[in-house]
Amino acid sequence: MNNQKEEFLLTKIVSTLGPASSTVSVIEKLIEEGVRVFRINFSHGTYQEYEQLLVRVRDASKKLNIPIAVLGDLSGPKIRIGKVVDGGVDLQIGQLVEFQKEPIETQVPTSGNIKFSTTYASFCDEVIPGEKILLDDGFVRLTCVEKRKGRLICRVEAGGVITSSKGVNLPDTDLSVPALTEKDIDCVKFAVDKGFDYLALSFVRTAEDIRQLKEILRQNGARTLDNSALSQIEPTLEEVKDQLEGIIPVISKIEKPQAVDNLDEILKETDAVMVARGDLGVEMDLAEVAVTQKRIIKLCRENGIPCIVATQMLQSMIDLPTPTRAEVSDVANAIFDGADAVMLSGETAIGKYPVETVRMMKRIAERSNAFLKAEPLASPPHMHSRKSQHRTAALAKSVYTVVKELDAKFIIVWSSLGGAAVYMSQQRIPRPILYFNPYESALRKTALLYAIQPIYMPYQTSNTAFFQTVDQWLLKHSWAKNGDTIVFVVSEPITRLAGINEMVIHNVGDPI
């Protein structure tokens, strides 16, 4: 078993790996400071570099004896400006510019309009007059005013310098571009082969985008059987292990207005959600982003869907050793709203202070969760009926009541498939959930979820022996003291692989 005493962070920290955090020593320090999920961005780097990062995380996880999940982030169909002359071109308010289908190197013209091309072949076909074109994360804004054969004439509404490969956002345009590019499909195959724990799908617009990714996963040997199907059978231990290792949950990145409009259907299909506020903030009215974030977190909680809040959380720490007060409040509010995890992007990928940034986020999370723990438990979050009628879900609600009445210190879960730990996490009880499991893959996948502290334990054959082992272990490693109330959530008998049916209230140190 993992016997390392660690701080019990209820809200998890996701850290993006990059040049500033690619070494073994930095990865170990980030884990020690509280990172439980590492993101590898497939938009940058090579397969060799991705695999090297994956191996380093796995090695650090094994050395520190802490289960760590690795998330592969698919690039998606990002549209970019074509090649631009060195030094870029300066667009002025009121100026007319042209976009054309044929690739071109944009020059500073001696006469006529500046001409651009893009990486999206159907760009000039699908944008229509009146629609906005946003360049460079929305800092430069254009409006299409005229459509000619193979060309668009656009007026500059907010100017700036544009250089090669700047991003293009089309918030008003109904694009036919597929959610998964050929590069994405290759990355999916790579992720399945190397055993990534999660895949994030960029620029989701509809539930169909998620179904397409799931189908590609199945075609490549992943998601052959999901947890709900496992719970309906009595598989062997080897079958459980094989199936758990074959499942790669999908995280849908909500960064398009169309995704917000289709959120209810997306939540029925996805395994988790990421509020990706970068492109979302470009394509929506900025004043709407905070409200949209709160709405997404609320709906995720009601549907039992894990939720990550991402982008620019401690952005100033890319260059500075301390964040702004507004950034600290931003992180804390995401925690107060009930997010499972908060994510760092450039702060740890390319920033000057990756370790210090995680340390700061950990401090904010600790203080925010201490505040939540000190507040009286009110009632479990409302869950939609399709999620709440499962027997384990009903038991989880009972655990909430017991923890509230007895002020239990820990919730202890033994679950071969992991479903019971997930249901406990969904109740948002501000207490650590110590989740014991013999399968590394199951432990890693719960590392993202609120309050769950995944801990390896060899396969158990007796409920009484499990209770005694945990009791002695908590005392030995000073995680609890005699008299502390803990709540066990297990199957009776414990060897039963599907279906949790027992809750046991225990005071540490008492006879079993």
CA–CA distance, 155 with 376 (Å, rounded to integer): 56
Choosing from 12, 36, 39, 115, the catalytic residue is 39
User: For this structure, is 39 an active site residue?
Assistant: yes
CA–CA distance, 375 with 370 (Å, rounded to integer): 9
Scored b (16 or more CB within 10 A) or e, 222-236 reads bbebebeebbeeebe
Query: 114 has which bridge partners?
Result: 97
Residue with tokens 């394509």: 283
Identify whether the C-beta of residue 163 lies closer than 8 Å to the C-beta of residue 83.
Answer: no
User: For this structure, is 29 an active site residue?
Assistant: no
Identify whether the C-beta of residue 308 lies closer than 8 Å to the C-beta of residue 339.
Answer: yes
24-33 vs 354-374: helix crossing angle, rounded to 10: 20
Length of the chain: 512
User: For this structure, is 218 an active site residue?
Assistant: no
Choosing from 106, 270, 311, 357, the catalytic residue is 311
Tokens matching residue 190? 């790579």
The one-letter code for the residue type at 91 is L
* Burial of residue 111 (number of CB atoms within 10 Å: 0-12, 13-18, 19+): exposed
From start to end of 307-373, where are the E strands?
307-310, 341-344
- DSSP assignment of 223-280 equals SSS-HHHHTTS---HHHHHHHHHH---EEEEE-SHHHHHTHHHHHHH-SEEEEEHHHH
Identify whether the C-beta of residue 432 lies closer than 8 Å to the C-beta of residue 8.
Answer: yes
Residue with tokens 């997306």: 266
Choosing from 132, 205, 214, 253, the catalytic residue is 253
Sign of the CA dihedral running 457, 463, 469, 474: positive
User: For this structure, is 311 an active site residue?
Assistant: yes
Choosing from 80, 268, 352, 391, the catalytic residue is 80
CA–CA distance, 131 with 292 (Å, rounded to integer): 22
For the chain, what is the largest distance between any 2 Cα atoms, rounded to a whole number of angstroms? Answer: 90
Q: Which residues contact 6 (CB under 8 A, 6 or more apart)?
A: 66, 453
- Report, as residue numbers or ranges, the catalytic residues: 39, 80, 253, 311
